Structure 1
Amino acid sequence: MSEIPPHPTLKAVTLTHVRYRKGDQLGHFLAWVSLVPVFIGLGGFVSHFIFRRELQGMFFALGLLISQFINEVIKKSVQQARPETCALLEMCDSHGWPSSHSQYMSFFAVYFTLLTYKKIGILWRNQMWVVGLLVWPLAILTMYSRVYLGYHTAAQVFAGAALGAVLGGVWFSVVNSGLRCFFPVIEESAFGRLFYVKDTSHIPNVLKFEYENARAARKHVSYKRAD
Protein backbone atom coordinates (compact mmCIF):
# COMPACT_ATOMS: atom_id res chain seq x y z
CA MET A 1 0.00 0.00 0.00
CA SER A 2 1.50 3.29 -1.11
CA GLU A 3 1.99 6.10 1.37
CA ILE A 4 -0.35 9.07 1.19
CA PRO A 5 1.71 12.20 0.43
CA PRO A 6 1.49 15.00 2.98
CA HIS A 7 -0.94 17.80 2.29
CA PRO A 8 0.74 20.61 0.39
CA THR A 9 0.87 24.11 1.83
CA LEU A 10 -1.95 26.12 0.30
CA LYS A 11 -2.00 29.83 -0.27
CA ALA A 12 -5.15 31.82 -0.94
CA VAL A 13 -5.42 34.54 -3.57
CA THR A 14 -6.79 37.36 -1.42
CA LEU A 15 -7.01 40.92 -2.70
CA THR A 16 -8.72 42.43 0.34
CA HIS A 17 -7.58 40.04 3.07
CA VAL A 18 -6.29 42.61 5.56
CA ARG A 19 -5.79 41.30 9.10
CA TYR A 20 -6.17 43.10 12.44
CA ARG A 21 -6.31 42.04 16.08
CA LYS A 22 -9.69 40.66 17.12
CA GLY A 23 -11.59 43.19 19.20
CA ASP A 24 -9.37 46.09 18.11
CA GLN A 25 -11.84 48.70 16.83
CA LEU A 26 -9.12 51.06 15.64
CA GLY A 27 -7.44 48.18 13.84
CA HIS A 28 -10.74 47.25 12.22
CA PHE A 29 -11.18 50.83 11.03
CA LEU A 30 -7.61 51.05 9.73
CA ALA A 31 -7.99 47.71 7.96
CA TRP A 32 -10.76 49.26 5.88
CA VAL A 33 -8.72 52.43 5.39
CA SER A 34 -5.84 50.35 3.99
CA LEU A 35 -8.19 49.25 1.20
CA VAL A 36 -8.57 52.83 -0.07
CA PRO A 37 -6.14 52.23 -2.98
CA VAL A 38 -8.35 49.35 -4.14
CA PHE A 39 -11.46 51.53 -3.94
CA ILE A 40 -9.73 54.33 -5.84
CA GLY A 41 -8.46 52.01 -8.55
CA LEU A 42 -11.57 49.92 -9.10
CA GLY A 43 -14.31 52.33 -8.04
CA GLY A 44 -12.72 55.58 -9.13
CA PHE A 45 -10.65 55.13 -12.26
CA VAL A 46 -12.58 52.22 -13.77
CA SER A 47 -15.88 54.09 -13.41
CA HIS A 48 -14.17 57.24 -14.72
CA PHE A 49 -13.14 55.41 -17.88
CA ILE A 50 -16.59 53.90 -18.35
CA PHE A 51 -18.58 57.09 -17.82
CA ARG A 52 -16.22 60.02 -18.50
CA ARG A 53 -13.32 58.81 -20.69
CA GLU A 54 -11.28 61.92 -19.98
CA LEU A 55 -7.65 61.77 -21.10
CA GLN A 56 -6.49 63.57 -17.96
CA GLY A 57 -8.01 60.85 -15.80
CA MET A 58 -6.59 58.11 -18.00
CA PHE A 59 -3.06 59.47 -17.77
CA PHE A 60 -3.52 59.90 -14.02
CA ALA A 61 -4.34 56.19 -13.79
CA LEU A 62 -1.45 55.29 -16.11
CA GLY A 63 0.92 57.17 -13.82
CA LEU A 64 -0.30 55.17 -10.82
CA LEU A 65 0.31 51.94 -12.72
CA ILE A 66 3.82 53.03 -13.66
CA SER A 67 4.46 54.00 -10.04
CA GLN A 68 3.35 50.58 -8.81
CA PHE A 69 5.53 48.86 -11.41
CA ILE A 70 8.53 50.86 -10.19
CA ASN A 71 7.64 49.87 -6.63
CA GLU A 72 7.67 46.17 -7.51
CA VAL A 73 11.01 46.49 -9.30
CA ILE A 74 12.58 48.22 -6.28
CA LYS A 75 11.13 45.70 -3.82
CA LYS A 76 12.53 42.77 -5.77
CA SER A 77 15.90 44.50 -6.09
CA VAL A 78 16.28 45.56 -2.44
CA GLN A 79 14.46 42.56 -0.91
CA GLN A 80 14.07 44.15 2.50
CA ALA A 81 12.01 42.01 4.86
CA ARG A 82 8.79 43.12 6.47
CA PRO A 83 8.59 43.54 10.28
CA GLU A 84 8.48 40.45 12.52
CA THR A 85 4.68 40.65 12.59
CA CYS A 86 4.70 39.35 9.01
CA ALA A 87 4.53 35.80 10.39
CA LEU A 88 1.10 36.43 11.93
CA LEU A 89 -0.01 38.20 8.78
CA GLU A 90 1.36 35.44 6.51
CA MET A 91 3.25 38.09 4.54
CA CYS A 92 6.86 37.06 5.12
CA ASP A 93 7.21 35.80 1.56
CA SER A 94 6.87 39.35 0.23
CA HIS A 95 9.18 42.35 0.60
CA GLY A 96 8.43 45.54 2.49
CA TRP A 97 10.61 48.38 1.17
CA PRO A 98 9.16 50.66 -0.04
CA SER A 99 5.50 50.39 1.03
CA SER A 100 3.34 50.14 -2.09
CA HIS A 101 0.21 51.42 -0.30
CA SER A 102 2.08 54.51 0.90
CA GLN A 103 3.59 55.10 -2.53
CA TYR A 104 0.19 54.76 -4.21
CA MET A 105 -1.57 57.17 -1.85
CA SER A 106 1.26 59.70 -1.88
CA PHE A 107 1.34 59.69 -5.70
CA PHE A 108 -2.45 60.04 -5.79
CA ALA A 109 -2.53 62.88 -3.26
CA VAL A 110 0.25 64.88 -4.93
CA TYR A 111 -1.15 64.49 -8.46
CA PHE A 112 -4.69 65.29 -7.28
CA THR A 113 -3.45 68.37 -5.41
CA LEU A 114 -1.59 69.67 -8.46
CA LEU A 115 -4.60 69.09 -10.71
CA THR A 116 -6.80 70.98 -8.28
CA TYR A 117 -4.31 73.83 -7.80
CA LYS A 118 -3.89 74.24 -11.55
CA LYS A 119 -7.68 73.83 -12.07
CA ILE A 120 -7.28 71.11 -14.69
CA GLY A 121 -10.06 68.67 -15.57
CA ILE A 122 -13.74 68.36 -14.76
CA LEU A 123 -13.23 66.44 -11.52
CA TRP A 124 -10.51 68.64 -10.13
CA ARG A 125 -11.69 72.27 -10.51
CA ASN A 126 -12.59 74.18 -7.36
CA GLN A 127 -12.02 71.11 -5.18
CA MET A 128 -9.35 72.36 -2.77
CA TRP A 129 -11.60 71.48 0.16
CA VAL A 130 -11.53 67.87 -1.06
CA VAL A 131 -7.73 67.95 -0.99
CA GLY A 132 -7.58 69.31 2.55
CA LEU A 133 -10.44 67.38 4.14
CA LEU A 134 -10.43 64.08 2.26
CA VAL A 135 -7.45 63.26 0.03
CA TRP A 136 -4.53 64.00 2.35
CA PRO A 137 -6.21 62.73 5.54
CA LEU A 138 -7.00 59.46 3.73
CA ALA A 139 -3.43 59.23 2.45
CA ILE A 140 -1.96 59.78 5.92
CA LEU A 141 -4.40 57.33 7.54
CA THR A 142 -3.54 54.70 4.93
CA MET A 143 0.16 55.10 5.63
CA TYR A 144 -0.41 54.94 9.38
CA SER A 145 -2.55 51.81 8.96
CA ARG A 146 0.34 49.93 7.35
CA VAL A 147 2.51 50.48 10.43
CA TYR A 148 -0.27 49.98 12.98
CA LEU A 149 -1.43 46.72 11.41
CA GLY A 150 2.15 45.43 11.24
CA TYR A 151 2.59 45.21 7.47
CA HIS A 152 5.46 47.73 7.31
CA THR A 153 7.96 49.57 9.43
CA ALA A 154 7.78 53.36 9.69
CA ALA A 155 10.90 53.60 7.48
CA GLN A 156 9.28 51.49 4.75
CA VAL A 157 6.18 53.67 4.83
CA PHE A 158 8.24 56.86 4.73
CA ALA A 159 10.23 55.56 1.76
CA GLY A 160 7.05 54.70 -0.13
CA ALA A 161 5.48 58.08 0.64
CA ALA A 162 8.59 59.98 -0.48
CA LEU A 163 8.94 58.00 -3.70
CA GLY A 164 5.22 58.37 -4.48
CA ALA A 165 5.36 62.13 -3.93
CA VAL A 166 8.35 62.52 -6.26
CA LEU A 167 6.83 60.30 -8.96
CA GLY A 168 3.47 62.07 -8.66
CA GLY A 169 5.06 65.47 -9.18
CA VAL A 170 7.27 64.28 -12.03
CA TRP A 171 4.41 62.49 -13.83
CA PHE A 172 2.16 65.54 -13.48
CA SER A 173 4.85 67.66 -15.12
CA VAL A 174 5.38 65.10 -17.89
CA VAL A 175 1.66 64.87 -18.67
CA ASN A 176 0.69 68.53 -18.41
CA SER A 177 3.86 70.10 -19.78
CA GLY A 178 4.76 67.54 -22.43
CA LEU A 179 2.08 65.02 -23.30
CA ARG A 180 -0.95 67.27 -23.07
CA CYS A 181 -0.24 68.78 -26.47
CA PHE A 182 -0.93 65.34 -27.96
CA PHE A 183 -4.40 65.09 -26.42
CA PRO A 184 -6.12 66.51 -29.56
CA VAL A 185 -4.26 63.93 -31.67
CA ILE A 186 -5.46 61.12 -29.41
CA GLU A 187 -9.02 62.48 -29.58
CA GLU A 188 -8.96 62.38 -33.38
CA SER A 189 -7.28 58.99 -33.61
CA ALA A 190 -9.12 55.77 -34.44
CA PHE A 191 -8.84 54.73 -30.80
CA GLY A 192 -10.21 58.07 -29.58
CA ARG A 193 -13.17 58.01 -31.91
CA LEU A 194 -13.95 54.35 -31.26
CA PHE A 195 -14.05 54.76 -27.46
CA TYR A 196 -15.23 58.41 -27.37
CA VAL A 197 -12.08 59.51 -25.60
CA LYS A 198 -11.96 63.26 -24.98
CA ASP A 199 -10.12 66.12 -23.32
CA THR A 200 -12.13 68.93 -21.73
CA SER A 201 -9.30 70.60 -19.84
CA HIS A 202 -9.45 73.58 -22.20
CA ILE A 203 -13.08 74.34 -21.25
CA PRO A 204 -13.28 76.80 -18.31
CA ASN A 205 -16.50 75.39 -16.80
CA VAL A 206 -17.14 71.86 -17.98
CA LEU A 207 -20.24 71.29 -15.84
CA LYS A 208 -21.90 74.41 -17.23
CA PHE A 209 -20.81 73.50 -20.77
CA GLU A 210 -22.28 69.99 -20.54
CA TYR A 211 -25.43 71.26 -18.84
CA GLU A 212 -26.13 73.87 -21.52
CA ASN A 213 -25.35 71.47 -24.38
CA ALA A 214 -27.56 68.76 -22.88
CA ARG A 215 -30.46 71.23 -22.64
CA ALA A 216 -29.82 72.46 -26.17
CA ALA A 217 -29.79 68.89 -27.48
CA ARG A 218 -33.06 68.12 -25.69
CA LYS A 219 -34.70 71.20 -27.22
CA HIS A 220 -33.38 70.24 -30.65
CA VAL A 221 -34.88 66.75 -30.33
CA SER A 222 -38.20 68.25 -29.16
CA TYR A 223 -38.30 70.60 -32.15
CA LYS A 224 -37.62 67.73 -34.57
CA ARG A 225 -40.41 65.67 -33.08
CA ALA A 226 -42.77 68.64 -33.31
CA ASP A 227 -41.98 68.99 -37.01
Structure 2
Amino acid sequence: MDLPEQFKAVTLTHVRYRRGDQLGHFLAWISLVPVFISLGGFVSHFLFRRELQGIFFGLGLVISQLINEFIKTTVEQARPETCTLLEACDSHGWPSSHSQFVFFFATYFSLMGCKGIGFWVGLRSRWVLNLVHWCLAVVTMYSRVYLGYHTVAQVFAGAALGAVVGGSWFWVVNSVLYRYFEVIEESKLGRMLCVKDTSHIPDVLKFEYDNARAARKNTKSD
Protein backbone atom coordinates (compact mmCIF):
# COMPACT_ATOMS: atom_id res chain seq x y z
CA MET A 1 0.00 0.00 0.00
CA ASP A 2 1.36 3.41 -0.98
CA LEU A 3 0.79 5.51 2.13
CA PRO A 4 1.37 8.96 0.55
CA GLU A 5 -1.46 8.28 -1.90
CA GLN A 6 -3.79 6.91 0.77
CA PHE A 7 -3.53 9.78 3.23
CA LYS A 8 -4.02 13.52 2.85
CA ALA A 9 -3.06 16.19 5.40
CA VAL A 10 -5.13 19.14 6.54
CA THR A 11 -2.97 21.85 4.99
CA LEU A 12 -4.04 24.57 7.42
CA THR A 13 -2.43 22.80 10.38
CA HIS A 14 0.13 20.51 8.72
CA VAL A 15 3.38 22.41 9.30
CA ARG A 16 6.92 21.01 9.07
CA TYR A 17 10.32 22.63 9.61
CA ARG A 18 13.94 21.47 9.54
CA ARG A 19 15.09 19.78 12.72
CA GLY A 20 17.31 22.14 14.71
CA ASP A 21 16.14 25.24 12.82
CA GLN A 22 15.01 27.58 15.60
CA LEU A 23 13.78 30.25 13.20
CA GLY A 24 11.86 27.60 11.29
CA HIS A 25 10.34 26.37 14.54
CA PHE A 26 9.22 29.90 15.39
CA LEU A 27 7.82 30.50 11.91
CA ALA A 28 6.00 27.17 12.01
CA TRP A 29 4.06 28.44 15.01
CA ILE A 30 3.53 31.82 13.35
CA SER A 31 2.05 30.09 10.30
CA LEU A 32 -0.67 28.73 12.59
CA VAL A 33 -1.94 32.25 13.28
CA PRO A 34 -5.05 31.64 11.10
CA VAL A 35 -5.94 28.65 13.27
CA PHE A 36 -5.52 30.64 16.48
CA ILE A 37 -7.62 33.50 15.10
CA SER A 38 -10.36 31.18 13.89
CA LEU A 39 -10.67 28.97 16.94
CA GLY A 40 -9.45 31.23 19.73
CA GLY A 41 -10.85 34.46 18.36
CA PHE A 42 -14.08 34.02 16.48
CA VAL A 43 -15.41 30.96 18.29
CA SER A 44 -14.92 32.59 21.69
CA HIS A 45 -16.30 35.86 20.30
CA PHE A 46 -19.52 34.18 19.27
CA LEU A 47 -19.84 32.29 22.55
CA PHE A 48 -19.28 35.29 24.82
CA ARG A 49 -20.07 38.45 22.83
CA ARG A 50 -22.24 37.65 19.79
CA GLU A 51 -21.60 40.96 18.09
CA LEU A 52 -23.00 41.18 14.57
CA GLN A 53 -19.88 42.96 13.36
CA GLY A 54 -17.74 40.08 14.62
CA ILE A 55 -20.10 37.45 13.21
CA PHE A 56 -20.03 39.00 9.75
CA PHE A 57 -16.26 39.45 10.05
CA GLY A 58 -15.95 35.71 10.62
CA LEU A 59 -18.39 34.95 7.82
CA GLY A 60 -16.23 37.02 5.49
CA LEU A 61 -13.19 34.91 6.36
CA VAL A 62 -15.17 31.78 5.49
CA ILE A 63 -16.21 33.29 2.15
CA SER A 64 -12.59 34.29 1.50
CA GLN A 65 -11.46 30.72 2.15
CA LEU A 66 -14.09 29.35 -0.24
CA ILE A 67 -12.89 31.78 -2.92
CA ASN A 68 -9.33 30.63 -2.29
CA GLU A 69 -10.25 26.96 -2.67
CA PHE A 70 -12.16 27.68 -5.87
CA ILE A 71 -9.21 29.54 -7.41
CA LYS A 72 -6.74 26.86 -6.33
CA THR A 73 -8.75 24.04 -7.86
CA THR A 74 -9.29 26.08 -11.03
CA VAL A 75 -5.71 27.25 -11.58
CA GLU A 76 -4.06 24.09 -10.18
CA GLN A 77 -0.64 25.67 -9.76
CA ALA A 78 1.77 23.34 -7.97
CA ARG A 79 3.64 24.18 -4.81
CA PRO A 80 7.45 24.55 -4.94
CA GLU A 81 9.61 21.42 -5.21
CA THR A 82 10.12 21.36 -1.44
CA CYS A 83 6.52 20.17 -1.11
CA THR A 84 7.80 16.58 -1.48
CA LEU A 85 9.74 16.79 1.78
CA LEU A 86 6.83 18.59 3.44
CA GLU A 87 4.26 16.03 2.22
CA ALA A 88 2.20 18.88 0.80
CA CYS A 89 2.25 18.15 -2.92
CA ASP A 90 -1.31 16.84 -2.88
CA SER A 91 -2.67 20.40 -2.63
CA HIS A 92 -2.24 23.41 -4.87
CA GLY A 93 -0.21 26.49 -4.02
CA TRP A 94 -1.67 29.52 -5.80
CA PRO A 95 -2.83 31.63 -4.08
CA SER A 96 -1.59 30.99 -0.54
CA SER A 97 -4.58 30.50 1.76
CA HIS A 98 -2.57 31.48 4.85
CA SER A 99 -1.51 34.78 3.30
CA GLN A 100 -5.02 35.43 2.07
CA PHE A 101 -6.47 34.75 5.52
CA VAL A 102 -4.12 37.02 7.47
CA PHE A 103 -4.30 39.88 4.96
CA PHE A 104 -8.09 39.68 4.89
CA PHE A 105 -8.03 39.85 8.68
CA ALA A 106 -5.53 42.73 8.80
CA THR A 107 -7.40 44.75 6.17
CA TYR A 108 -10.82 44.27 7.74
CA PHE A 109 -9.51 44.92 11.24
CA SER A 110 -7.78 48.12 10.13
CA LEU A 111 -10.92 49.38 8.43
CA MET A 112 -12.89 48.69 11.59
CA GLY A 113 -10.38 50.80 13.47
CA CYS A 114 -10.62 53.62 10.95
CA LYS A 115 -14.38 53.64 11.40
CA GLY A 116 -14.10 53.41 15.19
CA ILE A 117 -15.80 50.02 15.43
CA GLY A 118 -14.81 47.78 18.31
CA PHE A 119 -12.68 48.13 21.42
CA TRP A 120 -10.67 51.21 20.57
CA VAL A 121 -9.32 53.28 23.44
CA GLY A 122 -7.83 56.30 21.73
CA LEU A 123 -5.72 56.82 18.64
CA ARG A 124 -2.55 55.37 20.18
CA SER A 125 -4.08 51.96 20.88
CA ARG A 126 -5.46 51.93 17.35
CA TRP A 127 -1.99 52.37 15.88
CA VAL A 128 -0.49 49.77 18.22
CA LEU A 129 -3.12 47.16 17.36
CA ASN A 130 -2.79 47.86 13.65
CA LEU A 131 0.99 47.52 13.87
CA VAL A 132 0.71 44.19 15.68
CA HIS A 133 -1.67 42.49 13.27
CA TRP A 134 0.03 43.84 10.13
CA CYS A 135 3.37 42.59 11.44
CA LEU A 136 1.79 39.19 12.08
CA ALA A 137 0.37 39.20 8.56
CA VAL A 138 3.75 39.93 6.97
CA VAL A 139 5.62 37.41 9.13
CA THR A 140 2.99 34.75 8.40
CA MET A 141 3.39 35.40 4.68
CA TYR A 142 7.17 35.15 5.00
CA SER A 143 6.90 31.93 7.01
CA ARG A 144 5.13 30.14 4.17
CA VAL A 145 8.02 30.89 1.82
CA TYR A 146 10.74 30.18 4.39
CA LEU A 147 9.23 26.82 5.32
CA GLY A 148 8.95 25.86 1.65
CA TYR A 149 5.18 25.64 1.30
CA HIS A 150 4.83 28.45 -1.23
CA THR A 151 6.72 30.54 -3.72
CA VAL A 152 7.03 34.30 -3.32
CA ALA A 153 4.49 34.81 -6.11
CA GLN A 154 1.98 32.53 -4.39
CA VAL A 155 2.09 34.35 -1.05
CA PHE A 156 1.89 37.77 -2.68
CA ALA A 157 -1.10 36.61 -4.71
CA GLY A 158 -2.77 35.40 -1.52
CA ALA A 159 -1.98 38.65 0.28
CA ALA A 160 -3.35 40.79 -2.55
CA LEU A 161 -6.50 38.71 -2.85
CA GLY A 162 -7.02 38.76 0.92
CA ALA A 163 -6.71 42.54 1.05
CA VAL A 164 -9.12 43.02 -1.86
CA VAL A 165 -11.70 40.56 -0.54
CA GLY A 166 -11.34 41.96 2.99
CA GLY A 167 -11.87 45.53 1.85
CA SER A 168 -14.78 44.55 -0.39
CA TRP A 169 -16.49 42.54 2.32
CA PHE A 170 -16.08 45.39 4.80
CA TRP A 171 -17.87 47.68 2.35
CA VAL A 172 -20.66 45.14 1.84
CA VAL A 173 -21.16 44.68 5.58
CA ASN A 174 -21.03 48.34 6.56
CA SER A 175 -22.73 49.88 3.54
CA VAL A 176 -25.31 47.25 2.59
CA LEU A 177 -25.87 44.71 5.36
CA TYR A 178 -25.56 47.18 8.24
CA ARG A 179 -29.04 48.56 7.59
CA TYR A 180 -30.44 45.11 8.44
CA PHE A 181 -28.60 44.74 11.75
CA GLU A 182 -31.53 46.05 13.77
CA VAL A 183 -33.87 43.65 11.97
CA ILE A 184 -31.54 40.76 12.82
CA GLU A 185 -31.32 41.90 16.45
CA GLU A 186 -35.09 42.07 16.81
CA SER A 187 -35.81 38.82 14.96
CA LYS A 188 -36.90 35.75 16.88
CA LEU A 189 -33.60 33.97 16.17
CA GLY A 190 -31.59 37.07 17.00
CA ARG A 191 -33.26 37.45 20.38
CA MET A 192 -32.92 33.74 21.08
CA LEU A 193 -29.16 33.85 20.37
CA CYS A 194 -28.78 37.29 22.03
CA VAL A 195 -26.93 38.75 19.05
CA LYS A 196 -26.36 42.49 19.16
CA ASP A 197 -24.75 45.41 17.39
CA THR A 198 -22.69 47.95 19.33
CA SER A 199 -20.88 49.50 16.37
CA HIS A 200 -22.88 52.71 16.89
CA ILE A 201 -21.31 53.15 20.34
CA PRO A 202 -18.08 55.21 20.12
CA ASP A 203 -16.21 53.47 22.97
CA VAL A 204 -17.70 50.04 23.63
CA LEU A 205 -15.11 49.13 26.25
CA LYS A 206 -15.87 52.21 28.36
CA PHE A 207 -19.62 51.80 27.79
CA GLU A 208 -19.64 48.21 29.01
CA TYR A 209 -17.31 49.02 31.89
CA ASP A 210 -19.56 51.81 33.14
CA ASN A 211 -22.72 49.74 32.75
CA ALA A 212 -21.19 46.73 34.50
CA ARG A 213 -20.22 48.89 37.48
CA ALA A 214 -23.65 50.53 37.54
CA ALA A 215 -25.36 47.13 37.46
CA ARG A 216 -23.25 45.92 40.39
CA LYS A 217 -24.14 49.01 42.42
CA ASN A 218 -27.83 48.53 41.65
CA THR A 219 -27.61 44.89 42.71
CA LYS A 220 -26.02 45.84 46.03
CA SER A 221 -28.59 48.55 46.67
CA ASP A 222 -31.42 46.07 46.09
Structure 2 residue 59 is matched with structure 1 residue 62: yes
Q: Distance in 1 between matches of 2:23 and 2:214?
A: 51
The structure, 1 or 2, with the larger RCO (C-alpha pairs under 8 Å, 6+ apart) is 2
Conserved 8 A contact 1:103-1:163 = yes
Q: Distance in 1 between matches of 2:26 and 2:154?
A: 21
- Matched with 1:129 is 128
**Cα offset for 1:215?**
2.1
User: Deviations 1:36-92 (Å, cap 9, x if unpaired)?
Assistant: 000000001111111111110111100000000000000000000000001001111
Q: Identity across aligned pairs (percent)?
A: 69
Conserved 8 A contact 2:99-2:155 = yes
User: Deviations 1:180-216 (Å, cap 9, x if unpaired)?
Assistant: 1111111111111111100001112222221222222
Q: Larger Cα Rg: Structure 1 or Structure 2?
A: 1
Q: Distance in 1 between matches of 2:219 and 2:26?
A: 50
Conserved 8 A contact 1:122-1:200 = no
User: In structure 2, do the counterparts of structure 1 residues 180 and 124 end up closer, same or farther at CA, with 3 Å as the change threshold?
Assistant: farther
**Corresponding residue SS for 1:120:** coil
**Cα offset for 1:12?**
6.0
Structure 2 residue 188 is matched with structure 1 residue 212: no
**Cα offset for 1:13?**
4.8
Superposition RMSD in Å: 1.6
- Gap regions ≥5 residues in structure 1: 1-6
**Corresponding residue SS for 1:178:** helix
Structure 2 residue 10 is matched with structure 1 residue 11: no
Q: Distance in 1 between matches of 2:93 and 2:218?
A: 59
Structure 2 residue 153 is matched with structure 1 residue 152: no
**Cα offset for 1:8?**
5.0
User: Deviations 1:66-123 (Å, cap 9, x if unpaired)?
Assistant: 0000000000000000000010011111100000001001101111111111111236
Structure 2 residue 188 is matched with structure 1 residue 196: no
Tell me whether 119-128 or 171-180 shows the greater mean CA deviation: 119-128
Picking from 147, 168, 171, the partner of 2:169 is 171
Q: Distance in 1 between matches of 2:122 and 2:72?
A: 36
Structure 2 residue 95 is matched with structure 1 residue 98: yes
Q: TM-score, normalised by structure 1?
A: 0.91
- Matched with 1:4 is none
Conserved 8 A contact 1:115-1:124 = no
- Gap regions ≥5 residues in structure 2: none
Count of residues in correspondence between the two structures: 217
